Amino acid sequence: MAEQRAAVRAAGRRLMRRGAQGVRRTVARRSRLLAFIAILGPGMITANAGNDAGGIATFASVGADFGYSLLWILIPITISLGIVQEMCARMGAVTGKGLADLIRERFGVRWTALIMLALLIANAGVTVSEFVGIAAASELFGVPHYLSVPLTAILIWFLIVKGSYKRVERVFLLMSLVFLGYVVSAFLSRPDWGAVAVGLVRPEFKLEPAFLFTFVAVIGTTISPYMQVYVQSSVVDKGVTPENYGRTKADVWVGTIFAILIVFFIIVSTAATLHKAGIQISTAEDAARALRPLAGRYAQTLFGFGLFGASMLAAGVLPLATAYSISEALGFEKGVSRSFREAPIFLGTFTFLVAVGALIAIVPNLPLFRVLLVTQVINGLLLPFVLFAVLRLVNNRELMGRYVNGPLYNIAAWLTAILVTILSFLFILISLFPGIFGHG
């Protein structure tokens, strides 16, 4: 009897130990998850801001014009975007300085002034396109643009100027959730998943003007100069250090993969419907309207809702990235948590871009295509300078110490910079001289 009681007590102790171990494992898992959520932000926000109104229009056109045949390009784009974003985030954590700060210190005032002027012009033009995206999306739901654009501009301005960094980040992260609408929209479109799988693994390349133009536009839309500026400055603003950088690195790659997955679903939804029906589009709202008769009212609503959220996110991030870069280049105080008295240039630049972007967007008969073309050409010219500056800075051992790129990472990074540079100049040639390859 005593032996049985001893055995029962021993079994009870074993169960208690196992239970305690299970509780500790659960607590550890929850702690890791909470720690990751706490650091989540710059990478997720930046990558998703790249899927703006112009980006959505480009990706929808890819699906409408070429079906699933260009899906394979998303795999190398994921790697390239992740590498570029990670290098900038790492520099922010190690140096505690923004990209424009480092460019000014290492390359001098003249180069900095030239790059900042180009970035200001390009970002101002793209900001206009984001407010045009807001106008187009709101009109899909019956809200006139002369109401939606000013109200959204005021909301974005109030969030940034009156909010703290944590509050701004939380709102931007919540805005990123609207992209999930494209996932549902893709499934509502009932795609041929077998053809989707083939498009992902079988590269197809044509030396045709329309294909070449689209191919280059996808690259240019996905990797933009302002994204590198924003991710590095926001890492600094958040106070990330080399000691806790591991979680930010995860945030960058999770954000990149999430953003490219959204691109995947946008292409799939339009390929399954518009390409199949032979419908061509030129804007994101065209895609939303065309989806309704083919995939139902909910697909159109989700697509329109995604366009509104994406445009709103980018309309906040773009002026912020510009304000960061101008303030850093000129050596002024910066930061979302600062007041107007503490950081007048930073908040003044942000206010100016939001106000001008919203005002121009409500101008009747705006030649938006010309605005977008000019700004994309400027971005295409600027991107190589930014990428090569990033590579020189991140490989500077005096600046980065042991956090410089490793040999394999450097090969991938240099290949990315060279290929993106070639494609950027190709995009510029096609844009400025459409007849050079028989385009147009």
- The answer to whether residue 341 sits within a structural domain is yes
Residue 234 in any domain: the answer is yes
Residue 189 lies in a domain: yes
Q: Range of 307's domain?
A: 40-437
Q: What is the pLDDT along the chain (440 residues), one digit of tens a residue?
A: 566 666 656 655 665 666 555 545 544 454 454 454 555 677 788 777 778 878 888 888 889 889 999 999 999 999 989 999 999 999 999 999 998 889 888 888 888 888 888 888 888 888 888 898 888 888 888 888 889 999 999 999 998 888 777 788 788 878 777 788 888 888 888 899 999 999 999 988 877 777 777 777 787 778 888 888 889 988 998 888 999 898 899 999 999 999 999 999 999 988 988 888 888 887 777 777 777 766 677 777 888 888 888 888 888 888 988 898 888 888 888 888 888 888 889 999 999 999 999 998 888 877 665 666 567 667 777 788 888 889 999 999 999 999 999 898 899 889 888 887 887 777 777 767 766 665 44
Within a domain: 131: yes
Report if residue 34 sits inside a domain: no
Q: Indicate whether 258 belongs to any domain.
A: yes
CA distance 427 to 60: 19
Q: Check which CATH number belongs to the domain holding 419 and give it.
A: 1.20.1740.10
Please classify residue 25 by burial: count the beta carbons closer than 10 Å to its beta carbon, then call 0-12 exposed, 13-18 middle and 19+ buried: exposed
State the virtual CA torsion across 191, 196, 197, 201 in degrees, nearest 10: 180
* Residue 306 in domain: yes
Structural domain count of the chain: 1
Q: Where are the alpha helices (DSSP H) in 179-224?
A: 180-188, 193-201, 209-222
Q: Which pTM does this prediction carry?
A: 0.82
27 lies in some domain: no
CB 39 within 8 A of CB 251: yes
